[in-house]
Chains A and B, each alone.
Chain A
Amino acid sequence: MTPPSAAEGGDAVVERPAAAEPASRPELPDDLARGFPIGQAIGWVVLVAFVAWLLWLFLDNPNLDMAVVRHNLFNANILKGLRNTLMFAVCAEIAGLVIGVIVGFGRLSAVRVFRTAAWLYVWVFRSTPLVVQILLWGNLALLLPKLGVGPWHTETNQVMTPFVAGVTALALHEAAYIAEIVRSGVTSVPEGQREAAAALGLSWWVTQRRLILPQALRVMIPPAGSAFVLLLKSTSLVVVISGGDLLTEAQNIASVNMHTIELLLVATLWFLLVTSVAAVGQRYLERRYDRQNRREPVRGPRWPLGHLGRGTSRKAGARA
């Protein structure tokens, strides 16, 4: 019943057994095995087969006339519709950004009445279907036949063309989402940054513009990019007020030649192209505002697609 060797332990050096030497060094291969990823291979086969089957459904379908698709892809009216769709999206995005930034900062204001007004805005425009908002703006004349005050007024329908109504509805709706994106971006910047800026004697305006927004943008660009892609697609909703967009034009043609599916396919192809370009733009912006994760300040080309030519630079610059 003696306690285990505490007494003799003292400051005696504990002896460790020497690492056992293998009697002889066994022959070991140097090459690393390259396993064949059988699971992944099956996945690829299934994916390719599935996509091929979908394409075949389209291409080898007696009800689908690819010649009509080809013929209408560059139809003058389709191209005009495409231009209108882009105009809708770009105008609505610009106006939406301006309003959204103001509303977003309103939601963060120290002044309660601003916060409430901004919250109300977001609540209204996010809580009603976009298509309803488009219809409301498009039919504004039913509610207010004349616009303006006193001697200065005109027929509502002269101002609220389908284009103006569509842009207004899309912009106000987009602004509500931008406002939320701005709010989350700005709150993602640590409070200490504002304190440091104040301690340096920087004004609110300089602090926001030079310090908070550039940092917030990194967080804001991915959701803002998604919002823009969504907006691009949502422009097709102006078909309900005959907005003259891509889908409206496609349907107009279809109503004459009865090739509904073919013309929907034409619209689809153009949307795929346009949204893909937008996605590339988003990636470029993301990289641009990711400056702090690079080792050195960026010199050299800053044009879109720049990353395609410098395949490894992204990895080299990523935080270790």
Chain B
Amino acid sequence: MSRVDLWGVELSYGTEQVLKGVDLSVADGEVVCVIGPSGAGKSTLLRLVNALLLPDRGHVLLDGELVGRRARGGRLHAMPERDVRVQRKKIGMVFQKFELFPHMTVMQNLCLAPVIHKDLTPAQARERATALLARVGLADKHDSYPGRLSGGQQQRVAIARALMPDPGVLLFDEPTSALDPELVGEVLSVMRELASEGITMIIVTHELRFARDVADRIVFMDGGVVVEEGVPAEVLDRPRSERVRTFLERV
């Protein structure tokens, strides 16, 4: 399991500053839910953790090691792509729109990366994939193409795919926002199970009930900063800041 630290992270898209100094630490095995209004910078924050984006200022660390950069001669240098790819294997990511590869079967989706990286032989990959698919309740869907699965099933495949390299951290970007209401439950219950197994998780979500149940800590973001953080009961029931209160009233 891994820990994640963001120290004074700032990021702009062109001239628009989206993150304005974010400090956030996630301990080994901790489950953190990030909530906040649209445009707060939640997705951007997740992209920084696995170096899909690099911060303009500040530092992102995984297990105490800089992500996507390396310090040398008193300066930060971009890490070679190869090394970034090695880091990314320790971080699983689950997307709002699943992003399964539509021209590959479920099994091929899961096995592609570990086999290409030569972390597993094809036979080992298939074995691990079979076990993970059983865990997310899709043991019978190996040979289906993603287009044939329901949204909830696709998202569970995506979770299994993210788990293939046995990552220390899982990042979720609104994993249930694209789902029909009756399919949300099956995805949340898989996530709930993962949370109870002690894997570190950072979850951007609008499901406040779920957040209250599984989160060790809730982080409220708005306008590119962390406005408030604390245990669910604190942030959700007795928010200190006005902004959190108005947000909670609206949802």
Q: Is A25 an interface residue (CB 8 A)?
A: no
Identify which of B88, B103, B143 contacts A199 (C-beta below 8 A): B88
Residue total for A at the interface (Cβ-Cβ under 8 A): 27
- Closest CB in chain B relative to A129 CB, distance in Å: 39
Complex-state Cα separation, A152 to B165, whole angstroms: 56
Determine whether the beta carbon of B102 is less than 8 Å from that of A192: no
- Closest CB in chain A relative to B170 CB, distance in Å: 11
Determine whether the beta carbon of A199 is less than 8 Å from that of B93: yes
B102 contacts across to A, CB distance below 8 A = 215, 292
**Which of B5-13, B109-117, B202-210 lies on the face that meets chain A?**
B109-117
Q: Is A202 an interface residue (CB 8 A)?
A: yes
Complex-state Cα separation, A211 to B93, whole angstroms: 17
Determine whether the beta carbon of B85 is less than 8 Å from that of A203: yes
Q: Is A195 an interface residue (CB 8 A)?
A: yes
- Closest CB in chain B relative to A75 CB, distance in Å: 47
Q: Is the interface of A mostly helix, strand, loop or mixed?
A: helix
- Closest CB in chain B relative to A125 CB, distance in Å: 31
Determine whether the beta carbon of A200 is less than 8 Å from that of B112: yes
| A201 and B95 in contact, given A295-B148, A319-B147 (Cβ under 8 angstroms) | no
Complex-state Cα separation, A116 to B162, whole angstroms: 38
| A193 and B99 in contact, given A201-B117, A202-B116 (Cβ under 8 angstroms) | yes
Determine whether the beta carbon of A211 is less than 8 Å from that of B97: no
| A196 and B95 in contact, given A211-B101, A319-B147 (Cβ under 8 angstroms) | yes
Q: Is A291 an interface residue (CB 8 A)?
A: yes
Determine whether the beta carbon of A199 is less than 8 Å from that of B148: no
| Chain B interface residues (CB < 8 Å from chain A) | 50, 52, 81, 85-86, 88-89, 91-93, 95, 97, 99-103, 105, 112-113, 116-117, 143, 145-148, 161-162, 165
| Chain A interface residues (CB < 8 Å from chain B) | 190, 192-193, 195-196, 198-204, 206, 210-211, 214-215, 218, 289, 291-297, 319
Knowing that A190-B97, A292-B147 touch, tell me 10 more A-B residue pairs with CB under 8 angstroms.
Answer: A193-B99, A201-B113, A202-B113, A202-B116, A203-B81, A210-B116, A211-B101, A215-B101, A218-B103, A292-B146
